[in-house]
A and B are shown apart, each in its own frame.
Chain A
Amino acid sequence: MSTATMNKPAHATGSGVNFARSLHSEWIKFTTLRSTWILLATTIVVMIGIGLLGAWGMGSGMESIRESGQDPAAMGMDESMLYMMATGGIDFGQLIIGALGVLLIASEYSTGMIRSTMTAVPGRLSPLAAKAVVVAAVAAVVGIVSSFATYFLSQPILASYGLDYGLDVENFVQSLLLSGVYLALVALMGLAVGSLLRNSAGGIVTLVALLLVLPIVASILQFDWIQDGVVPYLPSNAGRQMLALEIADGDLTQLQGGLVMAAWTAVLLAAAAVTTKSRDV
């Protein structure tokens, strides 16, 4: 072996680090892990699968009610519930996408990769920001693709019950698109939590607690100030308002809900940025 290939003591040749390059590097890292593809594929399959199962269940349920001579709407099964099935898989999908966000950064700490990352781009915030862009963009695409696929695939099923519907339902397309925004925000929260805790398992548990456990616990506590002042503003509750087709009196609107969830995400990301900058790697 020789060192013939490196005989010029080359100094910086104007080809240093910039954000686009950092982004390119993070994209390579993201796409060259098998776990990424497994988690993304699982998310899509789970979201579509749950949506289709829901549509089928609703369809057959409504049909049997109608056959028994009753009105499904009177029993609380109206068509707006049917429409919500297009994004019905998001409760499960968010957990997988959130885990992906956590793993993206926490696995770098657990494997030591972070030291390579932070020596290549010593600005520290740049790799975190690049990861955020990558995971948010991918999560958004996954959410939108899954929601539209669920809609189109569920129509033949629903048609057999005469329940198929068009994209012109009020706020429907908006809701399908915003499901991507919801998943992007979940992925960013996962990234922030993973960066704060630097631990995959701890990060995922924390994220599940935040998205799933906290709303359940809060809804059990029957104090008015909790029900009115806390429950609607929890990240997953607020975020789900983005997917709503109609807004009940007193509830957060789609925009308000999205902004509340975005605020949670921004706070977590800011905390992650501060600790990334200040802590030793």
Chain B
Amino acid sequence: MIEAHGLVKVYGKKPAVQGISFTVQPGKVTGFLGPNGAGKSTTMRMIMGLDRPTSGDVKVNGKHYAAHKAPLREVGALLDAKAVHSSRSAYNHLRAMAATHGIPTKRVQEVIDLTGLGAVAKKRVGGFSLGMGQRLGIAAALLGDPQTIILDEPVNGLDPEGVLWVRNLVRSLAAEGRTVFLSSHLMSEMAQTADHLLVIGRGKIIADASMQDFLNGQNLVRSRVRTDNPEALIRALAAHGVSVDTRDAALLEITGVDPRDIARAALEQQVLVYELTPLQASLEEVYMDLTKDEVEYHSQNIDTQPALLEQSGQPALPAELAPAGTTGREGK
């Protein structure tokens, strides 16, 4: 369990984290999302006692991290960058970490086998690929068999097998009743891994909800509708404050209103509807919608020709940016 209360971190004059409070529950995988520079890594460093909060406090398993007698047996962490001396071998690194807690060498061998490092364990870490470095970081985090596991971008640089392995690992750790706190920028991966989401933007928590509530609750309820008379249906729904994408003459994607309301509007207006399919918004769409105003480091949109965009098979742009046809948008 991780409990943060009014956590603030200011570097010089630049606020990195602005008074956040949250609880990360045991028995679940909690995903930590946010744009670059939003304060994710700073928050994790404060949890681990590496950065001192400017104000507020954060406890892990009921105590400040540094107050634990055997911190590696309570909390295991993989923080953003490699935290290993590049001239030492993976085996010796883990052995030195283990020695601080009297963890036997047998356990060092166990985490090496578990993370698939066996072949390179005696080699200098400086020669490791990004993925091997991540595996070593995960091995170090698991060394003390901790109750709480904090992983910052664990799948960064891992091969597909490694990504799948991390997903299964964190899910099984959570299933054992442990607290798992995980950050990632890979939305599809997060969607498959996390039970609960914590979204941070510009140093503030902007969402703290279960995955299901998060996907449902962001006014991104979307339905695919086929109808003979799209204009009449759009007019009828206009009062609900919806956005409508016209895909072709008879096919609409309606966002922001419950399917039941669409059916009722169609019934009242005597519009024939011959498909009404609720669409699950993807985590990526919801996330992009939620954080569009919070992104600190905006990338410039390349002015791509629409034809080119379709050809290259780009994934759909976030709902808000998608080229809209007939739009009956209001509100919001």
Contacts and interface: CB of A to CB of B under 8 A. Distances in A.
Contacts of A10: 73, 145, 147
A202 interface: no
B84 interface: yes
A207 B312 CA distance: 59
Given A11-B74, A17-B70, A281-B50, 20 more contacts: A1-B165, A1-B169, A6-B176, A7-B176, A15-B102, A17-B69, A21-B100, A25-B100, A26-B96, A111-B84, A112-B81, A113-B88, A115-B79, A116-B83, A119-B48, A121-B100, A122-B65, A278-B52, A280-B45, A280-B51
B99 A6 contact: no
A15 B147 contact: no
B71 A120 contact: yes
A57 interface: no
A107 interface: yes
Interface in B175-207: 176-178
B95 A119 contact: no
Q: Is the interface of B mostly helix, strand, loop or mixed?
A: loop
Contacts of A281: 45, 50-51
A16 B70 contact: yes
Interface in A11-57: 11-13, 15-17, 21-22, 24-26, 28-29, 32-35
Given A116-B97, A120-B101, A12 B73 contact: yes
B269 interface: no
Contacts of B147: 9-11
Interface in B42-83: 45, 48-52, 65-66, 68-74, 77, 79, 81-83
A29 B84 contact: no
A6 B83 contact: no
B110 interface: yes
B72 A120 contact: yes
Nearest to B141: A119
A111 B86 contact: yes
Contact of A6 (B52, B81, B88, B142): B142
A100 to B, nearest CB: 14
A35 B87 contact: yes
B85 interface: yes
Contacts, number: 142
A3 B173 contact: yes
A121 B68 CA distance: 10
B28 interface: no
B73 A16 contact: yes
Contacts of A124: 66
B73 A11 contact: yes
A1 B176 CA distance: 17
A260 to B, nearest CB: 35
A24 B102 CA distance: 9
Contacts of B87: 33-35, 107, 111
Nearest to B170: A3
B89 interface: yes
A119 B77 contact: yes
Interface string B93-108: 1011101111100000
Nearest to A36: B87
B70 A1 contact: no
